[in-house]
A and B are shown apart, each in its own frame.
Chain A
Amino acid sequence: MNSPTMIAIAIAGLAIGTFAFRFAGSALRERIDISAQAERLMAASAVVLLVAVLATAALTDDGGFAGIARPAGVLVGGMLAWRKAPFLVVVVAAAATAAVLRLFGVP
Chain B
Amino acid sequence: MRSVWRTVDLGLARDVALVCVAAAVIGLSYGAIAIGSGFELWLPVVMSVVVFAGASQFLFVGIVAAGGHPLAAMLAGLMVNARHVAFGLAVSDLLGRGRHRRILGSHLMTDESVAFALGQEDPERKRSAYWACGIGIFVSWNAGVLLGSAAGAAIEDTGTFGLDAAFPAVLLALVLPSLREHTTRRAALIGGAVALAATPFLPAGVPVLMALLGLLVFAGDRGAA
Interface positions of A (Cβ within 8 A of B)? 1-2, 4, 6-7, 9-15, 17-19, 21-30, 37, 40-60, 63-64, 66, 69-74, 77-78, 81-82, 87-88, 90-91, 93-100, 102
Q: Which one of A7, A22, A93 contacts B106 once the chains associate, using CB atoms below 8 Å?
A: A22
Q: Are B175 and A51 interface neighbours, CB within 8 A?
A: yes
Known: A7-B70, A69-B162, A94-B165. A49 touches B22 (CB 8 A): no
For B97, the closest partner residue in chain A by CB is A30
Q: Which one of A10, A12, A37 contacts B60 once the chains associate, using CB atoms below 8 Å?
A: A10
Q: Does B173 contact A (CB under 8 A)?
A: yes
Residues of A within 8 A of B106 (CB): 19, 22-23, 26
Q: Are A57 and B176 interface neighbours, CB within 8 A?
A: no
Q: Are A49 and B162 interface neighbours, CB within 8 A?
A: no
Residues of B within 8 A of A43 (CB): 90, 118, 178, 184
For A37, the closest partner residue in chain B by CB is B222
For A44, the closest partner residue in chain B by CB is B184
**What 1/0 flags go to B23-34 for Cβ under 8 Å of A?**
000000000000
Residues of A within 8 A of B167 (CB): 57
What 7 pairs across the A-B complex have the smallest Cβ distances? A25-B88, A73-B165, A77-B169, A98-B162, A52-B211, A94-B169, A10-B70
Q: Are A26 and B102 interface neighbours, CB within 8 A?
A: yes
Q: Does B153 contact A (CB under 8 A)?
A: no
| 27 intermolecular pairs with C-beta atoms under 8 Å apart | A10-B60, A11-B60, A15-B50, A15-B51, A22-B109, A26-B105, A37-B222, A42-B86, A44-B181, A46-B89, A47-B118, A47-B187, A47-B188, A48-B215, A49-B209, A50-B115, A50-B171, A51-B179, A53-B83, A59-B196, A81-B173, A90-B173, A93-B169, A94-B162, A97-B165, A99-B161, A102-B159
Q: Are A51 and B188 interface neighbours, CB within 8 A?
A: yes
Q: Which one of A15, A42, A95 contacts B162 once the chains associate, using CB atoms below 8 Å?
A: A95
Q: Is the interface of A mostly helix, strand, loop or mixed?
A: helix
Known: A44-B215, A53-B208. A18 touches B176 (CB 8 A): no
Residue among B73, B92, B115, B168 with max Cβ neighbours from chain A (10 Å): B168
Q: Give the A-B pair count, Cβ closer than 8 A.
A: 286
Q: Are B164 and A11 interface neighbours, CB within 8 A?
A: no
**B217 to chain A: closest CB distance in Å?**
9
Q: Which one of A48, A59, A66, A93 contacts B188 once the chains associate, using CB atoms below 8 Å?
A: A48
Q: Are B78 and A2 interface neighbours, CB within 8 A?
A: no
**B37 to chain A: closest CB distance in Å?**
9
Residues of B within 8 A of A15 (CB): 47, 50-51
User: Whole-angstrom distance between the alpha carbons of A30 and B92 in the complex?
Assistant: 7
Q: Are A10 and B218 interface neighbours, CB within 8 A?
A: no
Q: Are A21 and B81 interface neighbours, CB within 8 A?
A: yes
**What 1/0 flags go to B181-225 for Cβ under 8 Å of A?**
101100111011011100110001001110110110010001000
Q: Does B10 contact A (CB under 8 A)?
A: no
For B102, the closest partner residue in chain A by CB is A26
User: Whole-angstrom distance between the alpha carbons of A90 and B192 in the complex?
Assistant: 21
